[in-house]
């Protein structure tokens, strides 16, 4: 889930682009990023219509990839052994690996990472450097997680439904996706539109979007097998873009001086 911290990623991307140092894989606002593990693990970026815009082959994962989370301009991945690391977007190498109390999903609340355990549904919150902060309860059988500052969203493999919880562990909502049991493999929440995006993996490999009432608003078959993680790179509100532009102008003026 990306909110205000996205502006930091936009600023970094703008300044680095101006300096002519484009990355091999850019984190682009208004896209979806999946972790595909059908063969060699890779990041795949889609626009919201389902078109692939870029890919990046990954190296350095200790086990089979499990999930992906994007914070600003940084991309993190986890594996089925609970290891979490950051992706070098120039080379695809995963570095800074730390062990989490998880064996399935990875998400974020725009500041910290959330690693979720499939069996218990416990979402353990970590800093991006790997320091444990606290644990939050959800429901068992979870394969995807994402969050805002107040709400944790989870995709449940056991029944194909999406659930929401507050940070105290109380359920605040749920809806059935229609995919049924043994289907969901990832989840990303878009704070800009309020849509919940879910992935089905395990050979089905669809990406679908639902509104807050659980109504299907988008669905397409992806072009990579075995999706094992999904996240959304949201678009900042117009007011935020204006503030960002002012900040860039101020930086440019200071540099000129």
**Residues 9-21: tens digit of each pLDDT:** 333 333 333 344 5
Report domain extents, the chain: 6-256
pLDDT score at 184: 94
Query: Which pTM does this prediction carry?
Result: 0.85
pLDDT score at 99: 96
- Give the C-alpha separation, 121 to 45, whole Å: 27
- Find the helix or strand (DSSP H, E) in which 6 lies: helix 6-18
Cβ neighbours of 208 (radius 10 Å): 19
pLDDT score at 18: 38
pLDDT score at 11: 38
Whether the Cβ atoms of residue 174 and residue 198 lie closer than 8 Å to each other: no
pLDDT score at 38: 84
- Give the C-alpha separation, 164 to 3, whole Å: 18
pLDDT by 10s per residue, the chain, length 257? 543 333 333 333 333 333 445 789 999 999 999 999 988 999 999 999 999 999 999 999 989 999 999 999 999 999 999 999 999 999 999 999 999 988 889 999 999 999 999 999 999 999 999 999 999 999 999 999 999 999 999 999 999 999 999 999 999 999 999 999 999 999 999 999 999 999 998 778 899 999 999 999 999 997 777 888 999 998 875 533 333 344 434 444 444 44
Q: What is the CATH number of domain 6-256?
A: 2.120.10.30
pLDDT score at 34: 95
- Give the C-alpha separation, 203 to 224, whole Å: 10
Please identify which residue in the block is written with the tokens 């208004």.
30
- Find the helix or strand (DSSP H, E) in which 248 lies: helix 238-256
pLDDT score at 237: 59
């Amino acid at each position: 889930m990306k909110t205000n911290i996205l502006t930091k990623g936009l600023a970094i991307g703008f300044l680095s682009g101006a300096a002519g140092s484009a990355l091999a894989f850019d984190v682009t606002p208004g896209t979806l990023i999946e972790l595909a593990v059908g063969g060699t693990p890779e990041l795949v970026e889609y626009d919201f219509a389902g078109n692939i815009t870029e890919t990046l082959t990954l190296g350095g994962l200790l086990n089979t990839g499990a999930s992906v989370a994007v914070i600003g301009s940084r991309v993190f991945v986890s594996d089925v052994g609970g290891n979490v690391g950051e992706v070098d977007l120039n080379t695809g190498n995963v570095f800074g690996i730390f062990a989490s109390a998880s064996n399935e999903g990875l998400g974020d609340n725009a500041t910290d990472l959330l690693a979720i355990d499939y069996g218990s549904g416990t979402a353990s919150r970590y800093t991006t450097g790997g320091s444990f902060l606290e644990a939050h309860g959800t429901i068992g059988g979870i394969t995807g997680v994402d969050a805002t500052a107040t709400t944790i969203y989870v995709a449940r493999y056991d029944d194909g439904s999406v659930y929401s919880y507050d940070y105290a562990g109380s359920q605040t909502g749920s809806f059935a996706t229609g995919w049924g049991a043994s289907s969901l493999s990832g989840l990303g929440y878009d704070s800009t539109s309020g849509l919940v995006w879910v992935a089905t993996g395990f050979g089905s490999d669809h990406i679908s979007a639902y509104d807050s009432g659980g109504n299907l608003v988008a669905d397409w078959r992806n072009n990579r097998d075995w999706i094992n993680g999904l996240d959304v790179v949201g678009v900042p509100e117009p007011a935020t873009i204006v503030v960002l532009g002012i900040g860039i102008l101020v930086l440019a003026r200071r540099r000129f001086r």
